[in-house]
Structure 1
Amino acid sequence: MNRTWKIVALTSSLWGALLVVVVMLVAPPVLDWRSDGWTSDHSRGLVHMRGDDMHGDSGNGMWATSEYAYLAEMVPHHLEAIAAAQELRRSERPEVRQLGEDIVASQRAQVRLMEGWLDRWYPDRPARDPGYQPMMRDLSGLDGDALDRAFLTDMVRHHMMAIMSSQHLLLSGDVEHPEVADLAAAIRDEQREEIVLMRRLLTGDQAPGLRICPTR
């Protein structure tokens, strides 16, 4: 039995490592403002994802270690994304406004599902992780290119965290209800596609003349 569990753990670790590599290849560089303009830095994105961005029952500050912890963390994570995406109503680009509308519609529906499950299956536990740490900056004072750029760079990291947390849950064997497994897979796949779209928007590949990330 111990050998079986070691094999399972090794397989999970390998899948997790592969997922990080794939997501980093798909995602754009993290853009950081310096005195000489916008610069690229992949390492800051990885640092941002570690630490207290997600809290699990294990207290390791990285992954949810139970179905309950996943749902309790993903609810505030989604609510933060919804609030940020609503700011895109002020975007000057129709492609970016549509992305915001899609995120709001999809994640609102997913929040309703998760809140219903938490109320039904875990009524004696908090419906939201009280230790959740926001990942998105305040967008209320931004407009034009600055708004689009800040949202897209922050939301790529935000989506990456949800993708890896969902994949971790699916590989962990901690899912107690098949509905949660279906939702975790849907979040993983949907947000992976949105990362590809956001990368195209940032690099100007989505439409001719659309380049949010300035050339140097």
Structure 2
Amino acid sequence: MKRSVLAGIAAGSVLAATAASGTATASQQSAGPPGWGMMASTSSMPGANVSDEADYLTHMIAHHKEAVAAAKQLQRSGRAQMRTLGASIVTTQSAEIATMNRWLTTWYRGHSPQTGYRPMMRDLSKLSGDALDEAFLRDMIPHHMMAVMMSQQLLMHGDVQHPPVAAFAAKVRDAQHAEMVQMQQYLADWFGGEGMPCPMGR
């Protein structure tokens, strides 16, 4: 229930921002389209606050690792769409973990890897069929929301030292929001799920 409430609270800002987005110039990348700044400044999701670039990378690595572990469970799904989604998350986020680890090693060798990360996904290993698919969608939507909010907060208020990290955060923000919309549609189509409405023009 808490996950659904959190997703619902943030949904309006996220979807309004995406609906208003277009092709951003380099100078607009950090600010993002209208609505992202408000979302970043008003975030109250536990763990969504990042203070600087190293903090963002450390927390996002832990966050991605949890997503990859959960997405691997979708290999057992009976729905081709879910298997495809899971494979995409595993491939994309595993590569992003490697990139972030390389940046941490190169730029922040002395940074503590301890994050105090609090898991957001339930144990999916004993679920199957509809129960697996629904639990994954209901947990991964707010999980992606967290990544979106962390990324935008870094871009708006964090101490970004390296341009590749800014580009990376913008990519995570936009890609995971798109996956959130897709997952919300699956939830609505298959399970009558409540939460974020899909934006116009989908």
Q: For the superposition of Structure 1 and Structure 2, which TM-score range results when normalised by the shorter chain? A: 0.7 to 0.9
The 1-side partners of 2:169 and 2:102 are apart by 15
Q: What's the offset of the Cα at 1:126? A: 2.1
CA contact (8 A) 2:50 2:158 kept: no
Greater RCO (Cα-Cα under 8 Å, separation 6 or more) = 2
In 1: Cα distance, 2:95 partner to 2:86 partner: 14
TM-score computed with the length of structure 1 as normaliser = 0.69
2:191 aligned counterpart, secondary structure? coil
Matched AA of 2:160:
V
2:154 to 145, 154, 169: 169
Give the 5 Å matches for 1:13-28: 21-23=12-14
2:53 maps to 1:85: no
Note closer, same or farther for the CA distance 1:174–1:182 as it changes in structure 2 (3 Å cut).
same
> CA 1:102–1:124 in structure 2 vs 1: closer, same or farther (change >3 Å)?
same
| Aligned with residue 213 of structure 1, among 184, 192, 200 | 192
Identity score, percent = 46
Please say if residues 76 and 128 of structure 1, whose CA atoms lie closer than 8 Å, have aligned partners that are also in contact: no
What are the ranges of 5 or more consecutive residues in structure 2 without an aligned counterpart? 1-8, 18-42, 195-202
Q: Are residue 203 (structure 1) and residue 188 (structure 2) matched?
A: yes
Deviations 1:138-179 (A, max 9, x none): 000100000000000100000001101100100115100001
Between the aligned partners of 2:156 and 2:11, the Cα distance in structure 1 is 14
Say yes or no: does 1:113 pair with 2:99: yes
2:166 aligned to which of 173, 181, 199 = 181
Contact 1:148–1:212 (CA<8 Å) still a contact in 2?
no
Task: State the shift of 1:125 in Å.
Answer: 1.4
User: 1:122-133, aligned counterparts within 5 Å?
Assistant: 122-129=108-115, 131-133=116-118
In structure 1, give the amino acid aligned to 2:169: A
Aligned CA-pair RMSD:
2.3
* Contact 2:160 2:166 survives alignment (8 Å): yes
- How many Å separate the matches in 1 of 2:103 and 2:121? 26
Distance in 1, matches of 2:138 and 2:158, equals: 32
Rg larger for: 1
Structure 1 unaligned segments of length 5 or more: list them.
Answer: 1-17, 27-48, 55-61, 205-210
Contact 1:203–1:212 (Cα < 8 Å) also in 2: yes
Residues of 2 paired with 1:190 and 1:77: CA distance?
15
The runs of at least 4 consecutive aligned structure 1 residues that moved more than 6 Å come to: none
What SS does structure 2 have at the residue aligned with 1:70?
helix
Task: Report how far residue 212 of structure 1 moved.
Answer: 3.0
Cα distance in 1 for partners of 2:182, 2:118 equals 26
Deviation string for 1:128-147 (max 9, x for gaps)?
Answer: 52x01100000001000000
TM-score by length of 2: 0.74
